[in-house]
A and B are shown apart, each in its own frame.
Chain A
Amino acid sequence: MEVLDNKITKFREGLAKTNLSFREESLKYAEDTLTELDFPTTRVERWKYTRVAKIANTQFSSRKDVVKQLNLPIQDAYTVVLVNGYFDKELSSKNLPEGVEISATSQSANNLLGKVATIKNEVFTALNTLYATDGVSLRIKAKTIVDKPIQLVHVITGENTIATVRNVLVSERFSEAEVVQVFLSENANASFTNNVSEIIVEEGAKLVLDKLQNESESNFHYSNECVQQASNSNFKINTITLNGGLVRNDLTIDVDGENCETHLNGAYILKGKQHVDNHTVVNHLKPNCHSNEMYKGVMDDQSTGVFNGRILVSKDSQKIEAYQSNGNVLLSDSASINSKPELEIYADNVKCSHGSTTGQLDDEAIYYLRTRGISEKSAKALMVTAFISDVTKRMDNDKVVEYVHNQLHDRFGWDF
């Protein structure tokens, strides 16, 4: 593998080693990865369309900060706030319902750390393991049905700040919860969020995870969600990228039990020079499961998108139904998308399909709408919002959808 004259050694200078309770082998594995590898180049298949040189060439530093007022998607929620990767007690909810345990990862002897996030040869995850300052440890106790969403807010501030956050979310047996992960920035410039979440959905549990990315247009963001599903569980993740300069989302779901449902919805709405890359893997390891994936992107100006969706069905995973679709609309001639669906099926009795479409708004349709008295701008907005609504319609929480619509209204002037 090619090495960029070892940028990573320099990158690591000045970052303090993590205090989180990782097991020795996790730390050693991460250390080995970083000794062997440098930042990926576009010659690495998984990074073919995403250049990370800007991250590699920046000297980031970790710093604590305080923020005052935050515009949060949900007012009525159990909220936890981290600023630059440090727990903010002031802004976090004091009262939690019975059956919900939330603590700073640094304050909990969490023996699950490093157990689920085991992507091989992944430099950013290895960096996350070695330099995580803190994170959220969330445990929904067995049979608990949480009455309100749990809102995990990650704020990044300042110039060239790095926030390295490690979360562990556990939905115990037959529990039900909705978690909203929000990524925001305050006066941030060229800062870098590196957020890894290890998520366990136990037998019969239901977890909905809304991931809302809304950092500044100059920011870098890497996140990696690694999910393990046990039998009869139901997991849904909605990844909505509203802003951010260079965003890479790795999402890997191991469906390691029968009769599971898995939903992956995503939307990325870009302009300027934004670059957003979604890499998803659904790993069907057991029979009789259902997964459904829909990602949609709208790209304007010179923005670029990447979608790589992989579905793996192992040899003995019969009667799997797995669907995937990726749709893209390019609003300018300079915008682009690289979309690659991958199905790898080793079982013989399965129903799987995938599809990818990319196009521009239909000129005939715009003309038709204009002949009814609708301005060109409104006509485009009607069509784009309808396109994105295919994803937001699949989301359960109206408040979250409203937040998404409001943000898009402010950023693009579209009404939903």
Chain B
Amino acid sequence: MIKITNLHASINGKEILKGLDLEVKAGEVHAIMGPNGAGKSTLASILAGREDYEVTEGSVDFDGVDLLALNTEDRAREGLFLAFQYPVEIPGVSNVNFLRTALNEIREYRGQEQIPAKDFLAMVKEKSKLVELDAGLASRAVNEGFSGGEKKRNEIFQMAMLEPKLAILDETDSGLDIDALRIVSNGVNALKSDNNATIVITHYQRLLDYIVPDFVHVLHDGKIVKTGPKELALELEEKGYDWLK
């Protein structure tokens, strides 16, 4: 699905990623853990195509496509999805209108017809149930006035609507109470299939009780320093990160 090789990246001349390697296959869930400042969110931003970062070395192969050569929107159209740590509020732009535009532009890119209005609305109804998102929220402006939990649920709702091949969840658990965490995780688990994959970026092990990873990676100082089974997360929770440095 995705193969990251020797990725180096910097911002304002400061190197953040220093030779990162990672391979995720279809059907897998990978967790990336690590202390603050290790480069977790940088990795998510670089994969999504944020222009502030400069990739100085390395490659990212996404299902046979050179991901780094694509602009942000084309990465999404190829099937990459980033759930934001801090979803952005967009005043006046309704969730529904925005998702219809997104879906249709993705479909156009793939040479598909526009989605019929009826099918779209049925889809909105079905997918908003998945994350127990109030139908009213779907028609409201994107994230405007949403609580922290609603914003995260809205991220997963969008993910459900766009049906990505690879979803990257960037600290989706931050700021969530246990109920919201359960709802968000249930949504992610329900979307899981043999044809897609998920990268879960998190600081805490707690989320991994709900979204169970096949692999846990520890990111430290711009590199993956340790990879293990899901039990590694528990060990990290207990011992912290210092023993790996």
Contact = CB atoms under 8 A, between A and B. Distances in A.
Interface of A: 362, 364-365, 367-376, 378, 382-383, 386-387, 389-390
A375 B105 contact: yes
Nearest to A382: B93
Interface in B86-135: 87-94, 97-99, 101-103, 105-106, 109
A367 B89 CA distance: 12
Given A371-B76, A372-B162, A386 B101 contact: no
Contacts of A389: 92
A386 B101 CA distance: 13
A370 B91 contact: no
A370 B73 contact: yes
Nearest to B93: A386
Given A372-B98, A373-B77, A373-B106, A367 B50 contact: yes
Interface string B146-174: 00000000000010001000000000000
B144 to A, nearest CB: 10
A371 B82 contact: yes
Contacts of B72: 367, 370-371
Contacts of A372: 76, 98-99, 102, 158, 162
A368 B73 contact: no
B123 to A, nearest CB: 15
B109 A373 contact: yes
Interface string B202-241: 0000000000000000000000000000000000000000
B48 interface: yes
B141 interface: yes
B44 to A, nearest CB: 10
A367 B75 CA distance: 12
Contacts of A386: 90-94, 141
Interface string B47-90: 01110000000000000000000011101110001101001111
A374 B102 contact: yes
A382 B101 contact: yes
Among B87, B91, B106, B141, max chain A CB count under 10 A is at: B91
A378 B92 contact: no
Nearest to B82: A371
A368 B77 CA distance: 14
B90 A368 contact: yes
7 contacts: A364-B88, A367-B50, A371-B49, A374-B101, A376-B73, A378-B101, A383-B90
B88 A365 contact: yes
A157 to B, nearest CB: 38
Interface in B157-197: 158, 162
B102 A373 contact: yes
B73 A382 contact: no
Contact of A375 (B73, B75, B93, B94): B73
**Majority secondary structure, A binding face:** helix
Contact of B162 (A364, A365, A373, A382): A373
Nearest to A387: B92
Contacts of A370: 49, 71-73, 76
A390 B97 CA distance: 15
Contacts of A367: 50, 72, 88
Contacts of A387: 91-92
A-B pairs, top 5 by smallest CB distance, nearest first, are: A386-B92, A373-B76, A368-B88, A370-B72, A372-B102
Contacts of A375: 73, 105
A364 B73 CA distance: 14
B146 to A, nearest CB: 13
A373 B84 contact: no
Nearest to A372: B102
Contacts of B49: 370-371
Contacts of B141: 386
Given A373-B162, A387-B91, 4 more contacts: A367-B50, A372-B102, A372-B158, A383-B93
A369 B90 contact: yes
A364 B90 CA distance: 9
Contacts of B106: 373
A382 B98 contact: yes
Nearest to B161: A372
A74 B66 CA distance: 52
B162 to A, nearest CB: 7
A379 to B, nearest CB: 8
B166 to A, nearest CB: 13
A367 B88 CA distance: 9
A373 B88 contact: no
Among A362, A367, A368, A382, max chain B CB count under 10 A is at: A368
Nearest to B83: A371
Contacts of B73: 370-371, 373-376
Given A367-B50, A382-B97, A386-B141, A373 B105 contact: yes
Nearest to B48: A371
Contact of A362 (B48, B75, B81, B88): B88
A141 B188 CA distance: 65
A355 to B, nearest CB: 14
A378 B105 contact: yes
Contacts of B50: 367
A378 B90 CA distance: 14
Contacts of B88: 362, 364-365, 367-368
Nearest to B75: A371
Contacts of B103: 373
A109 to B, nearest CB: 50
Given A373-B106, A374-B105, A368 B92 contact: no
A89 B226 CA distance: 86
B53 to A, nearest CB: 12
